[in-house]
Amino acid sequence: MDLTPAHFPELAQRLQAERRRQKLSREQAAAVCKVSTSFIRDAESDPARCSLGKLLLLMRGLGLGLAAHGWSDEPPPGAAAAPQEPT
């Protein structure tokens, strides 16, 4: 699943479905994932409002992963280039 803001409702549904598949209450999932029960509620309703760090805690605690693709060695626009090694 490519994650864009348009996919947040689907992400919320998938997080809730996985928690339920594992037969975890929000309280149990919060304890396992080291987040609050209110965070679980927020992530399952509007993950766009949640921090990436806590979303990753929740996902890892549920046995899910998140991958980033397309990293480059190029500096971001406007950033200073890394110094070159002498040749």
Residues of the chain with pLDDT under 50: none
Predicted confidence at residue 14, as pLDDT, reads 93
Cα separation of 68 and 77, whole Å? 19
Predicted confidence at residue 1, as pLDDT, reads 58
Predicted confidence at residue 69, as pLDDT, reads 73
Predicted confidence at residue 4, as pLDDT, reads 80
Predicted confidence at residue 86, as pLDDT, reads 61
- Picking from 41, 67, 70, the residue whose alpha carbon sits closest to that of residue 56 is 67
Collapsing DSSP states into helix, strand and coil, what is residue 56? helix
Predicted confidence at residue 20, as pLDDT, reads 97
